[in-house]
């Protein structure tokens, strides 16, 4: 009797975890596919597209998650396969230094100009 209870409990716990893991998987697939470009579409993400490419891509991402890849590992894997073009999240490397720094520089220069044009005390 006790043994059966424990067995049921184990199954229940397993089911609970399993279903949880399942829904987390789907959320993660959605999250990743939003950041991946559908290569055969005009400016759509894999998430937004229903093309064959996008569908097979979603399956591939799901498979990688089941194999135990982390989110970042999946991005790295896809970039390795298809090149930087596939990722909507440009990394920080020698090609993208100015992409990240120019806006920040604009902000700093703007702030400096305003600082120069401001009086801080009553004169």
Partner 1 sequence: MFFSQLGYYSLIFGLIFSFLLIFVSYKDLKIINHSINSKIISFVFFQLFFVFLSFICLIISFINSDFSNVTVYNNSHTTKPLFYKISGSWGNHEGSLLLCLLVLTLFIFIFLITSKKEPKKFRIITLLFQQIIIIGFFLFLLITSNPFSYLFPIPKEGLGLNPILQDPILAIHPPILYLGYIGSSIIFSSSLAAITQNYVNNKWAKNLKSWTVISWFFLTIGIMLGSIWAYYELGWGGFWFWDPVENISLMPWLCLIALIHSVIVLEKRSQLASWTLILCISSFTLSMSGTFLVRSGILNSVHTFANDPKRGIFILIFLFILILISIFIFFIFYKPITKDQKNFLYSRETSILINNWFMMYFLSVILIGTVYPIFLEVIADEKISVGPPFYNKLLIPFLIPFLILMAIGPNIKWIQDDIKLFNLRLIFLFLISVLISYFVLIIIGLNGLFTTFLIGVALYLLVTTISDFFIKKKINLSQKISHFGFSLLILSIILNGIFSSEISTNIKVGEKYKFKHGIIYFEEVKNFKKQNYISVVTTFRIKEDNKKEIFLKPELRIFNQPENITSEADIKINFFSDKFLVVNLVKGNEYYNIKYQTKPFMIWIWLSTIILASGGLINFFQRKLNEK
CB-based burial, 12-44: b 16+ in 10 Å, e otherwise: eeeeeeeeeeeeeeeebbeebbebbbbeeeeee
Indicate the Cα dihedral angle 103, 104, 110, 113, nearest 10°: -140
If one asks whether residue 87 binds partner 1 (CB under 8 A), the answer comes out as yes
Among residues 47, 53, 69, 77, the one that binds partner 1 under rule CB under 8 A? 47
The verdict on 35 binding partner 1 (CB under 8 A) reads yes
Residue closer to partner 1 (CB basis): 3 or 85 = 85
User: Per rule CB under 8 A, is residue 73 in the interface with partner 1?
Assistant: no
* Cβ 123 to partner 1 shortest distance, Å: 9
CB 99 within 8 A of CB 56: no
CB of residue 50 vs partner 1: minimum separation in angstroms? 5
């Amino acid at each position: 009797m006790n043994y059966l209870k424990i067995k049921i409990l184990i199954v229940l716990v397993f089911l609970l975890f399993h279903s949880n893991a399942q829904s987390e998987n789907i959320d993660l697939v959605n999250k990743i596919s939003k950041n991946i470009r559908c290569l055969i579409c005009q400016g759509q993400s894999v998430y937004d597209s229903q093309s064959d490419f996008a569908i097979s891509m979603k399956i591939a991402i799901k498979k990688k998650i089941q194999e135990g890849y982390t989110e970042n590992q999946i991005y790295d894997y896809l970039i390795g396969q298809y090149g930087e073009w596939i990722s909507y999240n440009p990394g920080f490397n020698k090609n993208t230094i100015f992409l990240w720094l120019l806006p920040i520089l604009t902000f700093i220069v703007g702030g400096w100009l305003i600082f120069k044009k401001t009086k801080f005390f009553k004169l």
